[in-house]
Chain A
């Protein structure tokens, strides 16, 4: 990103931070958290400790960061180097990103940018200009992507409450500001768990590492009575609903499963994990020292805000997270795909000069698809 674009984004971000202190708060137990931030074209500054909202707002105005982060962990000394922080516990966090869902619509709204000659085109394997294979894929997610991500959040919440006994009020869902959702779990029995234990929770949630025996299938002499039923709790019940479809089909399907054999059953389980398992980013949940995007802050991949979703069902991501101002800006846009923000359509633009509201200009500039004219 060049100086002119950085200046534009910094001005827009500064105005947002100044006008929307009401949206940006430090989390509870502030003094035990580690904060960090990035500036445009700069590395990460972390190991920061803050006392209250005032100190946070001062940091935002002073530094005009491109991204702001806060730890899910609680430390005795959050501002010391990692080894000396004295880790106490960490909230359970989840990242659901539509890019991990392998949706068909993605092909339609993904763009490739060549690392060699900077040529931008619709999704392709080799650059259409210089034939290089070193391409960067960028996506402008659509409402279907958000819908599918919401569905994953719903699946996740169900497991968290029904299987893990977590109180609904302790689960908070945020739109990440780009392509998905961040889910936080507070005050749970899992606070003190380390990374290895959390990776077991991940496998449970993603439906990974299952052995056929768990669902009644044995290598030798499988027994019909061991197969799960609709009324079963947890994965057994969910498995039954998915595999049997209806109660009347159950006996026949069990016979089929048994006659197809153990190895086939195992293969089916692996396929099933993409379908009924929740598609979360395992690395995020396993990380107990992560600094995670701060709610209310802007996402430099889009210029959109990470916002709390009070009613996930009705939540309209590309309207409710768009807080940058409407002032017109002239840009040169090279964005071969149409996108929608605040219910307004933009693009496609073929390397042309256009005048658009600041929020749309920032969106394209953040994705490296436009420059300031």
Chain B
């Protein structure tokens, strides 16, 4: 575990052992519900969750990542820890996810600043160590860049959908990807969010604390707004239309295209018997084999694995993507036409 200075705890409060921190400071949760001075921290925690739920980043009282006074620093850490208590008491996963993401983005700013710190080497070292300890990414500094092994880069960047993050759009040399401090930290945003949310998820839920009822109730009401009901339209995306066209013409659709078509239609609740006739025109059609393979994909035979429809990214690589403007912002053909 990394040893943190006072300022670091305020910047990266998720690294602290919450229970231990309160104990060290000599406070119990109950006191926060009753003591009017301490209650200010609960209000701050509440607004911290609200800001996050709104998709914004909570503005801390730190100046340039440093606390002007000890009590400011303490309040920073308390409000984070109490926000977790509030979230646990609401039990709403959507709120936890939003909070974790917002906190990750807040920490991201500090990490970026620390990484790029040229006057204080120890700050840079700490940022590099946090990233290594938490996400097993070994960062090295080379000239003005931070370089990380290509394999490390890929395990994180595959979750991004913006094209600028594709490896081809990066400077790659001798097994390393070259990044700025901003990009290095952006690379771990999701994992940082996951780390924070899993820490919250795994934290013990305390019993209701007197004085916490009101904010908890408000947060539950708020989180109900986030539930959305997607509407599914009947239209097929261009990749699927193209595959059907090819088969209708009696031309050869590669194995990967057949896989895409079958998994797509299965996911749209079509049965194996409904799908099989589509392949009748294929030059190498064999009814028995087609049914066997479709049942395999559907998970009704073989290992029982239900195969998922490949992502747009994968289809692009396989030359099966024929994107049209309506495809904007979708990551999987199954999302096409959903509003």
Contact = CB atoms under 8 A, between A and B. Distances in A.
Interface of A: 81-83, 115, 133-136, 162-166, 189-190, 192-193, 196-197, 199-204, 206-211, 213-214, 233-236, 282-283, 286
A196 B158 contact: yes
Interface of B: 149-151, 154-155, 157-158, 163-164, 166-169, 171-176, 250, 255-256, 283, 303, 305, 311, 313-314, 316-319
A275 B150 CA distance: 24
Q: Which of A83, A133, A165, A199 has the most CB of B within 10 A?
A: A199
B250 A164 contact: no
Contacts of B166: 200, 203-204, 209-210
Contacts of A165: 150, 174-176
B151 A208 contact: no
B176 A201 contact: no
Nearest to B318: A282
Contacts, number: 102
B154 A200 contact: yes
A234 B283 CA distance: 42
B296 to A, nearest CB: 11
B175 A166 contact: yes
B173 A83 contact: no
A283 B318 contact: yes
A203 B317 contact: yes
A230 to B, nearest CB: 15
Given A166-B175, A193-B155, A203-B166, 11 more contacts: A115-B283, A162-B173, A162-B174, A200-B154, A201-B150, A203-B317, A209-B163, A209-B168, A234-B171, A234-B172, A283-B318
A134 to B, nearest CB: 5
Contact of A192 (B151, B158, B255, B319): B151
B151 A196 contact: no
A202 B317 CA distance: 8
B167 A200 contact: yes
B9 to A, nearest CB: 34
A199 B313 contact: yes
Give me the 6 closest cross-chain CB pairs, A-B, nearest first.
A165-B175, A197-B154, A165-B174, A189-B151, A214-B169, A204-B167
A235 B169 CA distance: 9
B164 A211 contact: yes
Contact of B167 (A82, A133, A203): A203
Contacts of B176: 165
Contact of B151 (A82, A197, A283): A197
Contact of B314 (A189, A192, A196): A196
Nearest to A273: B168
A165 B256 CA distance: 31
A36 to B, nearest CB: 15
A203 B151 CA distance: 14
B177 to A, nearest CB: 10
11 contacts: A189-B149, A189-B150, A189-B175, A199-B317, A200-B154, A200-B167, A201-B167, A209-B316, A210-B168, A211-B163, A233-B173
A164 B172 contact: yes
A98 B323 CA distance: 28
A162 B157 CA distance: 21
Contacts of B313: 196, 199
A83 B172 contact: no
Contacts of B171: 233-234, 236
B157 A200 contact: yes
A193 B250 contact: no
B174 A81 contact: no
Q: Which of A83, A166, A197, A200 has the most CB of B within 10 A?
A: A200
B316 A208 contact: yes
B250 A133 contact: yes
A202 B316 CA distance: 11
A40 B265 CA distance: 34
Contacts of B173: 162-163, 233-234
Contacts of A208: 168, 316-317
Contacts of B316: 203, 208-209
Contacts of B256: 283
Contact of A213 (B151, B155, B158, B169): B169
A98 B280 CA distance: 29
Contacts of A83: 303, 305
A290 to B, nearest CB: 12
A134 B250 contact: yes
B280 to A, nearest CB: 12
Contacts of A189: 149-151, 175
A164 B318 CA distance: 22
Nearest to B162: A211
A314 B166 CA distance: 37
Nearest to A161: B174
A204 B168 contact: yes
B48 to A, nearest CB: 35
Q: Which of A83, A115, A190, A197 has the most CB of B within 10 A?
A: A197
B303 A81 contact: yes
A286 B171 CA distance: 22
Nearest to B316: A209
Contacts of B167: 200-201, 203-204
Contacts of B311: 196
A282 B157 CA distance: 19
B248 to A, nearest CB: 13
B189 to A, nearest CB: 18
Contacts of A209: 163, 166, 168-169, 316-317
A213 B157 CA distance: 18
A134 B172 CA distance: 45
A187 to B, nearest CB: 12
